[in-house]
Structure formats: structure tokens, C-alpha cells
């Protein structure tokens, strides 16, 4: 019997007959925003924008037609010379990158190369208005976790129809077995009493480009 089996056995013995029965888990939390908070998509976008900004991230808005120009403008503003993007990022997002070199990450780019880049551009799986959170699940246009966590600057494109109101709504859109990265502003280390240190485990700069189609 392995250590794992011994531990599982002890837990099961301790639970005894009660196992799997009779435990009331409170589920009375709010699952949706009220109509007063978010009657329209524009309300959701406005709340998301406000909450992301409150988390020290920059938020920009673009129409579908000027997405490529807006991505380029964000990179030019940082004087980025060389960035990475998932290989399956839609080509149209990067088609205006005059003077910025874009590396397609196919999962082979090594850590040193990623560290040397000026940033990364990705999409997301879903975004949450109430908490100003972006969730990546490794799906299309998102790449592997390393890609969005190593470079010091992350430009994340969020389509307006990817924004939901609440965390439960986001969870309903996600598949738990996927590698999820939940991003609420630039990451910070430190508990309530410690000094807040930004960039402890992820990019120090997060910029969100909301695309209204």
C-alpha cells in the first residue's frame, strides 16, 4: 500500500458512514448582476473597464476595425521592439506592427528568450465585470501559461462578448480540466500587513484592450 493509499484510507475511515451524505454546502451567493447594475452589454463593459482600471491595469477600447492599429499603438507606446504571441493568435491582430518583431510561440521558445522579450499579446477565454478579472484557459489565441506569465508586459485582447457579469457566470463558461489562469490586475505578493510587491509572479504591467464588435 502506497503512502497515498494509506492517507486516503485514513480519510475514508474518519469520514465513516457520513461520507458523501448530509453536508449542507451554502450556495446562497449571488450568481448574476442585477438589472440595475448591468441592463445592457455597455453596462458590463463599463463595469469591467472600471474594475480592471482599479486593479492598476491599463484599459483601452477599440472597434473591430482598428484592433490591429490599437495593438500596434499599445506596443509603440511602450517602445516594444520584440514581442511574443501564441502561434494561433489571429493574424489580423498583429498585421500593423510596423517596427515590432513578433515571435510565434509554438511551445518551443525557451525561458531565456521569453524573459528577453518586451511583452506578449494574447486573447482570453472569458472576462468578469464584477471583479475586473480575465481568465485564460490555454485555448485559441491564449497560448501556454509560461507565455503569459514570463514576459514583463501582457497585452490582453478581450472581446466585449467575452465579458460576463460574475464569477459563477465565468465558471459556467469554463472547463475545469483546462489550465486556467485567473488574472485580476498585475499579480502582487504580500498579505494584508505586508508591503504589496507587484510582479512577484507574473507580468508587472497588464494592459487590456476591449474590442467592441
**Which range, of 25-33, 35-43, 91-99, 194-202, touches a second copy by CB under 8 A?**
91-99
What residue has cell string 514570463? 150
Angle, vertex CA 186, rays to CA 180 and CA 192, nearest 5 = 100
209 binds a second copy (CB under 8 A): no
Restricting to residues 28-87, which ones interact with a second copy according to CB under 8 A? 64-65, 68, 85-87
Could you tell me if 51 and 131 are in contact, meaning their C-beta atoms sit under 8 angstroms apart? Answer: yes
**CA atoms of 41 and 14, how far apart (whole Å):** 50
Q: How many CB atoms sit inside 10 A of residue 5's CB?
A: 9
In terms of DSSP bridges, do strands 101-105 and 82-86 run parallel, antiparallel, or are they unpaired? parallel
Rounded to a whole number of angstroms, the minimum distance from the CB of residue 207 to a second copy is 18
Rounded to a whole number of angstroms, the minimum distance from the CB of residue 111 to a second copy is 19
Binding-site member from 108, 177, 193, 201 for a second copy (CB under 8 A): 108
Q: Which is nearer to a second copy, 94 or 134 (CB)?
A: 94
Rounded to a whole number of angstroms, the minimum distance from the CB of residue 138 to a second copy is 15
Q: Which is nearer to a second copy, 7 or 69 (CB)?
A: 69
Cell of 159: 472581446
Amino acid at each position: 500500500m502506497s503512502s497515498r493509499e494509506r492517507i486516503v484510507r485514513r480519510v475514508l475511515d474518519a469520514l465513516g458512514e457520513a461520507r458523501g451524505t448530509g453536508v449542507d454546502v451554502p450556495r446562497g451567493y449571488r450568481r448574476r448582476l442585477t438589472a440595475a447594475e448591468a441592463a445592457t452589454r455597455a453596462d458590463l463593459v463599463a463595469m469591467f473597464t472600471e474594475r480592471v482600471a482599479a486593479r492598476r491595469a491599463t484599459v483601452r477600447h477599440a472597434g473591430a476595425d482598428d484592433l490591429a492599429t490599437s495593438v500596434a499603438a499599445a506596443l509603440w507606446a511602450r517602445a516594444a521592439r520584440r514581442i511574443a504571441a501564441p502561434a494561433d493568435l489571429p493574424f489580423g491582430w498583429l498585421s500593423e506592427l510596423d517596427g515590432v518583431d513578433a515571435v510565434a510561440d509554438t511551445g518551443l521558445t525557451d525561458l531565456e528568450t521569453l524573459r528577453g522579450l518586451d511583452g506578449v499579446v494574447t486573447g482570453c477565454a472569458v472576462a468578469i465585470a464584477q471583479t475586473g478579472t480575465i481568465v485564460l484557459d490555454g485555448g485559441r489565441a491564449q497560448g501556454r501559461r509560461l507565455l503569459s506569465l514570463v514576459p514583463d508586459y501582457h497585452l490582453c485582447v478581450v472581446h466585449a462578448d467575452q465579458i460576463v457579469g460574475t464569477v459563477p457566470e465565468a465558471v459556467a463558461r469554463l472547463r475545469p480540466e483546462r489550465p486556467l489562469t485567473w488574472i485580476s490586475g498585475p499579480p502582487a505578493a504580500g498579505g494584508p500587513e505586508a508591503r504589496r510587491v507587484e510582479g512577484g509572479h507574473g507580468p508587472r504591467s497588464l494592459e487590456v484592450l476591449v474590442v467592441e464588435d
